[in-house]
């Protein structure tokens, strides 16, 4: 089968060969909270100090957070930040989130913090919440803000990330440590697969916890909270602090950023001969290209993200049985035309599919445990790549709680391709 390049993935600029990327393997118990020996603590401290020195010197370092692995650079250093864009092949109008070790760092970075934003920080920092705030002029590289007058800032809830930020002594701009458009990395091995030879080093601190990127919000002058990207902090959690009237809790609000191509099966699966990214001229293709719209206020709002190499469609319907029937029918047709097929499902529904429905079947766990699906989503998408899947279908899930973030990422990964089973 012809192997055609996927146009969703940007062109990277390499800084060296894969051996040039340093790897600091930390003791896994440092992430798990287990007691370390004095020798282990000393080794981890030395590794983090080396990584911090590389950041201060204008280099790039991938490091674990509680969400996904980030690719960091000194947010004040334009040359360093440009290395992040080059390594990822990231669009230049896609702003970066700045990571800080504590609330006190905001004094140098932003000009104002709304009282509602301060309340959200008090409740959920450190944690998977990014707040878009007015940037203090002349401090951050303009590449970080994409020319906007605001900046997204968060304080990660991970011991390795916090230790690195404190040791570096600088604000660190850090998007996910993957090739732009690819599934975000939840393991150091994912980072190496995408970026070895493109970045300075990787701090291997084990698996990320939440598995999905942070929630990004912007507090409006009237105190209402605009959710720019759903993530590890749910809309319900935001409302618990800001007030129910201040946060839009409707399912449509969670999915509007994913912008599905249509209510039907807008983008057909690839014809025999290889996978496609999106039909030329379709809304999905326009989003992948950026469609000439203004710079997004936060990462994840404009471009196709998180995509496997094969074509991906999201199947939704009124019942699990109908979804399974529709998915099985399309997967069988894809197999008959020579596709290598994949199916992403929830464990409760496995028995609804005939044996051999897809060559590669991956479970996200139970529908009743969305945190499990969040942790495993990106690794699951990468498994389809490992299996060489060219046509993949994924079950939709309820757009409530953490399910809103899961569906947002699935829809982004699918480029808005939806199959309605009803």
Where exactly are the structural domains of the chain?
18-204, 255-420
**CA 99 to the chain's CA centroid:** 15
Starting at the edge strand found earlier in the chain, the sheet holding 341-345 runs 360-363, 341-345, 391-395, 311-316, 418-420
The pLDDT mean for the chain works out to: 86
Q: Is 306 annotated as a binding residue?
A: yes
CA distance 374 to 408: 11
Mean predicted confidence (pLDDT) in 160-188: 95
- pLDDT at residue 85 is higher than 90: yes
Asked whether residue 84 carries a pLDDT value surpassing 80, the answer given is yes
pLDDT score for 17: 58
Neighbours of 366 (CB within 10 A): 12
More reliable by pLDDT, 15 or 80? 80
pLDDT (average), residues 103-110:
97
Worst-scoring range by mean pLDDT, 86-95, 161-170, 208-217, 289-298? 289-298
Residues 173 and 240: their CA atoms lie apart, in Å, by 29
Contact 315, 393 (CB under 8 A): yes
Q: Which is nearest to 215 in space by CA: 412, 2, 401, 356?
A: 401
134-139 contact pairs (CB < 8 A, 24+): 134/110, 135/109, 135/110, 135/111, 136/108, 136/109, 136/110, 136/111, 137/111, 139/76, 139/108, 139/109
Cross-strand bridge partners of residue 343: 361, 393
Give the span between the Cα atoms of 295 and 158, in whole angstroms. 30
- Check residue 15 and give its pLDDT: 55
Count other C-beta atoms under 10 Å from residue 39's C-beta.
9
186 labeled binding residue: no
Tens of pLDDT, residue by residue over 370-422, are 999 999 999 999 999 999 999 999 999 999 999 999 999 999 999 999 999 98
Give the whole-number percent of the chain exceeding pLDDT 90: 75
**pLDDT band at residue 302, thresholds of 50, 70 and 90?**
low
- Reported as a pLDDT band with limits 50, 70 and 90, residue 93 is confident
Residue 150, annotated ligand binder?
yes
Is 154 marked as binding a ligand? yes
The reported pLDDT for the residue numbered 30 is: 43
Q: Which CATH class is domain 18-204?
A: alpha beta
**pLDDT of amino acid 263:** 34
pLDDT value at 12 more than 70: no
CATH number assigned to the domain covering 255-420: 3.40.50.11030
Across residues 114-141, what is the average pLDDT? 98
pLDDT at res. 7: 44
pTM: 0.85
- The verdict on whether residue 99 carries a ligand-binding annotation is yes
CA-CA-CA-CA torsion sign (226, 155, 307, 393): negative
Mean pLDDT over 206-215 rounds to 91
**pLDDT band for position 254 (cuts 50, 70, 90):** low
Burial class for 90, CB neighbours closer than 10 Å (0-12, 13-18, 19+): buried
Count CB-CB contacts under 10 A for residue 92. Answer: 11
- 266 has a pLDDT exceeding 80: no
Predicted local confidence at residue 181, as pLDDT: 86
67 marked among binding-site residues: yes
203 — pLDDT class (breaks 50, 70, 90) = very high
Q: Does 176 carry a binding-site annotation?
A: yes
pLDDT at residue 60 tops 60: yes
- CA–chain centroid gap for 295, Å, is 18
Q: Is 409 assigned a ligand-binding role in the annotation?
A: no
Of the listed ranges 75-79, 198-202, 234-238, 279-283, the least confidently predicted one is: 279-283
Return the pLDDT at 268: 37
Q: CA of 340: how far to CAs of 126, 235, 264, 309, 412, in Å? A: 42, 37, 23, 12, 22
* pLDDT-based confidence at residue 27 (cuts at 50, 70, 90): confident
């Amino acid at each position: 089968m012809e192997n055609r390049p996927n146009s969703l993935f940007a062109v990277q600029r390499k800084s060296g060969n894969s051996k040039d990327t340093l790897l600091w393997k930390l003791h896994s118990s440092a992430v798990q909270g287990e007691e370390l020996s004095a020798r282990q603590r000393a080794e981890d401290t030395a590794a983090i100090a080396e990584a911090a020195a590389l950041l201060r010197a204008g280099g790039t370092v991938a490091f674990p957070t509680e969400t996904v692995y980030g690719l960091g650079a000194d947010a004040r250093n334009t040359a360093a930040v440009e290395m992040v864009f080059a390594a990822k092949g990231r669009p230049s109008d896609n702003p970066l989130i700045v990571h800080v070790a504590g609330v006190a760092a905001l004094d140098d970075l932003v000009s104002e913090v709304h009282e509602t934003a301060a309340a959200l920080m008090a409740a959920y920092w450190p944690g998977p919440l990014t707040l878009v705030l007015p940037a203090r002029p002349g401090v951050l590289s303009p590449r970080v803000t994409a020319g906007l007058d605001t900046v997204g800032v968060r304080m990660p809830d991970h011991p390795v990330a916090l230790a690195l930020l404190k040791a570096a002594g600088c604000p660190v701009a850090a998007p996910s440590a993957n090739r732009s458009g690819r599934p975000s990395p939840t393991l150091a091995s994912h980072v190496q697969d995408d970026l070895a030879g493109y970045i300075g080093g990787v701090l291997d601190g084990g698996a990320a916890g939440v598995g999905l990127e942070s929630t990004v919000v912007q507090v409006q002058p009237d105190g209402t909270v605009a959710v720019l990207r759903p993530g590890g902090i749910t809309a319900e959690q935001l409302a618990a602090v800001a007030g129910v009237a201040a946060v839009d809790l409707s399912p449509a609000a969670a999915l509007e950023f994913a912008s599905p191509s249509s209510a039907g099966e807008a983008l057909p699966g690839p014809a025999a001969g290889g996978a496609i990214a999106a039909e030329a001229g379709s809304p999905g293709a326009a989003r992948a290209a950026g469609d000439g719209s203004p710079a997004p206020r936060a990462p994840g709002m404009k471009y196709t993200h998180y995509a496997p190499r094969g074509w991906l469609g999201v199947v939704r319907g009124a019942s699990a049985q109908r979804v399974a029937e529709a998915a099985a029918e399309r997967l069988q047709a894809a197999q008959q035309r020579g596709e290598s097929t994949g199916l992403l499902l929830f464990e409760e529904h496995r028995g609804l599919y005939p044996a051999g429905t897809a060559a590669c079947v991956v479970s996200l766990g139970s529908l009743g445990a969305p945190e499990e699906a969040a942790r495993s989503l990106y690794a699951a998408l990468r498994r389809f790549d490992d299996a060489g899947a060219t046509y993949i279908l994924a079950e939709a899930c309820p757009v409530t709680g953490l399910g809103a973030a899961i569906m947002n990422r699935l829809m982004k990964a699918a480029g808005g391709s939806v199959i309605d089973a009803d």
